[in-house]
Chain A
C-alpha cells in the first residue's frame, strides 16, 4: 500500500493537469496509430509512412507544426464570439467524459459515487456530458455563416439526438445486470463476478450484453460522426460540414475533440463491456499499476474496431440514418433491456 499524503490543492492541480494532458495525448495516440499508420496500411498510402525514416514517425509532428503555422481566418460575416467559442465547447465535452473513467481501483479523477440515490451516477454523467458537443457543433455551423456549414450542423444535431437514445438504451442492460450506475462499481462487478461458478476470467459483461455492445458501438460511431455515419462532415458533398470555415488552431481543436471523444467512447465501451481496468486475481496495489495499461490495451482494441469500420464503409444518407436509429436500433435496444430485466429477475 502506498501512502502519499497530499493536500486537496495539490490533488486538484494534479487531477487538472492529468485531464488536460490526457485529451490531446489520447487524440494524438489515436491519430497516430489509426489515422496515420493503420489507414496507410489499409489504403496503400505511401505519404504518411515516409517522413522521419522509421515508419513515418515524424508525420504527426509535421502535421501539428503545419496547423500551428496556418493563418487564423474568420469569415467576415461570422458571429465572432460564437465562432471562437464553438471548438472549445466541443473539446470541453471530451474533457468532462474523461473525469469519471476509472483507470484503476483508486485512479480516477472523480467517481460521483457520493450521489447516494442511484448508488453513483457515473454512467449517467458520462453519457450526458458526451452529448454536449452537439451544442458546439451547432454553434460552429450557425456562426460560420456558410450554407454548407449550416447544413452540416443541422445534420449533426438531428443525428446526435437520434443516436443518443440507442446509446443510452444499450447501456441500460449493463446497469441492470451490475445493479449500479457507478463506473467503478460496474468494473468491480465484472472483476469479482463468475461464470457459472468459475471465476477464471471474472465476468466481462460482453458475454451477456453482446447485443448491447454492438448497439453501443454503432451508436457511438454515429455520435462520433465517423463513417458510415459521417454526414455532418461528409467531405464529398458538404466539403467539411460545420468545420468548413475553420483553419489552423481552431481546426486542430475540432480534430483533438474528434479523436479525444473517440478515445473516451472506446474507454466507456471497454469499461462497461470488457471489464475496464480489471484483471482477474490482481487486486489492490498491483491493480493500481497494471490497471491503466490493461485499460489502454482494451481501449485500443475497441478503437481498432471503430476505425476499421471508419475506413471501410461508405456513408449512409441522412434519411436512411434516421430510419436505422428509429426502426432498428431503438426497438432492438428495448427488447434487450426487457430480456435482461426478465433474466435478472429469473436468476
Chain B
C-alpha cells in the first residue's frame, strides 16, 4: 500500500469504493508519515467533535484530507451477547443504553418484536403513549443536534439553546417515566403507567416552546450566511451511495429519498392516524441534513400536539401472563428512530429470554461512509460532516 494507490481528491464523483484502499492502520502509518511528508492526525477517541469515542486516523496534505479511517469499538459493551442471558423484560434496560439520546425510541422495536412473537397487541391508549414518548425523544435528540451542529461549525450560542430545549423535553419524559435518560417504561403488552395529572397542558406549552425555538434556529443558524457557506455542498451523499451503504433516516431523506419507516414501514404505533408530512431535500449536503432535521423537529412537535388532542382512553396493558415466555420463532422488526432505521432480529426458542438477538442500528452505516465522504475536504469540514451525519457511538459499539 503506497501513497500512489490512493485515489486523488480530484476524482470524487466515482462511487464504487474499494475498502482495501483505506485499510492501513495507525501503527503502520508512522513510516508513511516519514517518507511522504503528509501529516497523520489522530482525531479521537477523545475529541469534542466525535460524539463519544470515535477515532479518525486522518492523513493530511496541509489542511486537505488525503484519506480518513474511522476506527470504532472503543465502547463495545457486548449487548447482543448480554441479551442471551436476560429475560425479555430485563432487556429493555440494556437497549435503553444503545442510543442514549433517544432511549425510549430504542425500546419500541424490541418490545414490538416480542409482542409480535407472542401474538399480543397493546391497547390503543398504550400505543398512543408510546408514540408520544417516541416523538418526544425524537425532539429531544433533534434539538440537541440543531444546537450541536451550530457549535461544531463555530457558534457557541445555539448549543445552549439546544440544551435548554432538550431540558424542557427531558423534564416531560421524566414526569411520565421517572427517568430522564433511560426511561425503561415499555412493557410487553403495554406501558407501565398513565400520564401524571396536568401533564397534557404542560406538554402542549412545551411543544409551543419547541416550535418557537425552531423558528429561532431558522433565523440564527439556517439563515446565517456563514453557516450556509460552511455547510452547503460539503459532504454530499448521492442517493445511490447512501442507499448502498445502508444510510437511513434523516440522512437519506436529506439526499432526496422519500422514505420514512413511520409511513412506509410495517404498520406500527399510531402514525397512520396522524396527519403529517415526510420532509426531503434534494441536495444531500450537510446543510440539507440540518434543514431536514429542523423540519422533522417541527413535524414531531405538531404530531405530539395532534396526539394529545385525540388521545383515547382505556386500559394501558393487554392480558399478559405473569412469567413471560415467548413462543418459538424468528422476527425482524425495524422502526424509524431519530438516528435512522433501528431493527431487532430476535430468535426465540421458547424460553424466558431470546436465543439470539441481532441489533441493526443506524449510526454504523453513517460512519462507514466517512472514508468516502472525507476524501479531499478541509480539516474544518471533517467536523461539519461528522456533526451533520449525527451518529452516537453507543449506537455503533453496542
Partner-B contacts on A (CB < 8 A): 42-45, 147-148, 151, 227-228, 230-231, 234-239, 311-320
Residues in chain A near residue B345, CB distance under 8 A: none
CB <8 Å contact, B378 and A317? yes
B380 within 8 A of A: yes
Interchain CB contact (< 8 A) of A311 among B47, B48, B156, B224 = B156
On whether the beta carbons of B379 and A236 are closer than 8 Å, the reply is: no
Bound state CA distance, A226 and B383, in angstroms? 19
* Cross-chain contact A43 with B379 (CB below 8 angstroms): no
Partner of B48, one of A151, A239, A315, A319: A239
Residues of B within 8 A of A317 (CB): 229-230, 378, 380-381
From A231, A313, A318, contact of B155 by CB (8 A) = A313
With contacts A151-B379, A236-B48 taken as known, whether A314 is within 8 angstroms of B161 at the C-beta atoms is no
CB-based contact A42/B157 at 8 Å:
yes
From B69-77, B145-153, B199-207, the one touching the partner chain is B145-153
The answer to whether B154 has its CB under 8 Å from any CB of chain A is yes
Task: Give the size of the chain B interface in residues (CB under 8 angstroms).
Answer: 31
Q: Which of A42, A237, A312, A315 contacts B49 (CB 8 A)?
A: A237
Q: Give CA–CA (A343, B70) in the complex, Å.
A: 60
Query: 24 A-B pairs, CB-CB below 8 angstroms?
Result: A43-B160, A147-B39, A147-B41, A151-B379, A227-B155, A228-B154, A236-B48, A236-B383, A237-B379, A237-B380, A239-B48, A311-B157, A313-B154, A313-B224, A314-B221, A314-B226, A315-B154, A315-B155, A315-B230, A316-B229, A316-B230, A317-B381, A319-B378, A320-B229
Given A44-B164, A147-B41, A239-B48, also A314-B227 (CB < 8 A): yes
Q: Is the CB of B226 within 8 A of A228?
A: yes
B382 at the interface (CB under 8 A from A): yes
Flag if A318 contacts B380 (CB, 8 Å): yes
Residues of A within 8 A of B47 (CB): 239
Q: Which residues of B contact A234 (CB under 8 A)?
A: 154, 380
Give chain B nearest CB distance to A187 CB in angstroms.
Answer: 35
Residues of B within 8 A of A320 (CB): 229-230
Distance between Cα atoms of A43 and B382 in the complex (Å): 26
Inter-chain contact B41/A236, CB cutoff 8 Å: no
- Which residues of B lie under 8 Å from residue A238 when comparing CB positions? 379
Q: How far is the CA of A315 from the CA of B156 in the complex (A)?
A: 10
Query: In the bound complex, what is the Cα–Cα distance between A151 and B221 (angstroms)?
Result: 27
- 8 tightest Cβ-Cβ pairs between the two chains A and B: A315-B154, A43-B160, A314-B155, A314-B154, A314-B153, A237-B383, A236-B152, A317-B380
Contact pick for B154, options A44, A147, A148, A236, CB 8 Å: A236
A45, B102: Cα distance in complex, Å: 24
- Nearest CB of chain A from residue B226's CB, rounded to whole Å: 5
List chain A residues, Cβ under 8 A from B154.
227-228, 230, 234, 236, 313-316
Q: Which residues of A contact B378 (CB under 8 A)?
A: 317-319
Residues of B near A45 (CB, < 8 A) are 160
What CA separation (Å) do A148 and B49 show in the bound complex? 14
Chain A nearest CB, measured from B167 CB (Å): 10
Looking at chain B's contact residues, the main secondary structure is helix
CB A185 to nearest CB in B, in angstroms, measures 38
Q: Which residue of B is nearest A311, CB measured?
A: B157
Q: Which residue of B lies closest to A42 (CB)?
A: B157
A43 touches B41 (CB 8 A): no
A317 to B153, CA, bound (A): 9
Which residues of chain B come closer than 8 Å to A311, judged between CB atoms?
Answer: 156-157
Least Cβ–Cβ distance between A164 and chain B, in angstroms: 21
Within 8 Å of chain A (Cβ to Cβ): is B63?
Answer: yes
A314 lies within 8 A of B63 (CB) = no
Q: Which of B201-227 contact A (CB under 8 A)?
A: 220-221, 224, 226-227
Contacts of B226 in A (CB 8 A): 228, 313-316
Alpha-carbon distance between A142 and B14 when the two chains are bound, in angstroms: 39
Q: Considering the complex, give the chain A residue whose CB is closest to the CB of B149.
A: A314
Closest to B387 in A: A236
Please state if A43 and B156 are interface contacts (CB–CB under 8 Å). Answer: yes
Q: Tell me the bound Cα distance from A44 to B163 in angstroms.
A: 10
Question: Whole-angstrom distance between the alpha carbons of A29 and B379 in the complex?
Answer: 35
Q: Which residue of A lies closest to B377 (CB)?
A: A317
A42→B158 CA distance, assembly (Å):
10
A310 CB, min distance to chain B CBs, angstroms: 9
Nearest CB of A to B295, in Å:
20
Question: Which residue of chain B has its CB nearest to the CB of A43?
Answer: B160
* B residues less than 8 Å from A230 (CB atoms): 154
Q: How far is the CB of B271 from chain A (nearest CB, A)?
A: 33
- B160 pairs with A315, CB closer than 8 A: no
Q: Closest CB-CB distance, B239 to chain A, in whole Å?
A: 26
**A148 to chain B: which residues have CB within 8 Å?**
41
Q: Name which residue of chain A comes closest to B159, CB basis.
A: A43
A44 engages B161 (CB within 8 Å): yes
How far is it, in angstroms, between the C-alpha of A43 and the C-alpha of B383 when the chains are bound?
22
CA distance A235 to B41 in the complex (A): 16
Bound together, the chains give a CA A316 to CA B155 distance in angstroms of 10
Identity of the chain A residue whose Cβ is nearest the Cβ of B379 in the assembled complex = A237
Residue among B151, B154, B226, B383 with max Cβ neighbours from chain A (10 Å): B154
Other contacts beyond A314-B154, A318-B380: 4, CB < 8 A: A44-B160, A228-B154, A234-B380, A315-B380
Given known A-B contacts A151-B379, A317-B378, A236 and B151 have beta carbons under 8 A apart = yes
Chain A residues contacting B381 (CB-CB under 8 Å) are: 317
When distances are taken between beta carbons in the complex, the residues of chain A under 8 Å from B41 are 147-148, 151
Q: How far is the CB of B370 from chain A (nearest CB, A)?
A: 15
User: Contacts A44-B164, A147-B41, A239-B48; is A312 near B380 (CB within 8 Å)?
Assistant: no
In angstroms, Cα B227 to Cα A148, docked, is: 23
Q: How far is the CA of A317 from the CA of B381 in the complex (A)?
A: 8
Among A231, A237, A239, A312, chain B packs the most CB atoms within 10 A around the CB of A237
**Residues of B contacting A151 with CB < 8 Å?**
41, 63, 379
Beta-carbon contacts of B58-72 to A below 8 Å, as 1s and 0s? 000001000000000
Chain B positions 64 through 99: 1 when the CB is less than 8 Å from some CB of chain A, otherwise 0:
000000000000000000000000000000000000
Q: Is the CB of A231 within 8 A of B157?
A: no
Which residues of the other chain, A, contact B39 by a CB distance below 8 angstroms? 147
Once the chains are docked, how many angstroms separate the CA of A186 from the CA of B233? 47
Nearest-CB residue, chain A, relative to B160: A43
B383 touches A314 (CB 8 A): no
Most chain-B CB neighbours within 10 Å: which of A231, A236, A315?
A: A236
Asked whether B160 lies within 8 Å of A231 as measured between CB atoms, the reply is no
Best-buried of A238, A239, A317 by chain B (most CB within 10 Å): A317
Minimum CB–CB distance for A266 against chain B, Å: 21
- Docked Cα-Cα span, A44 to B157, in Å, equals 9
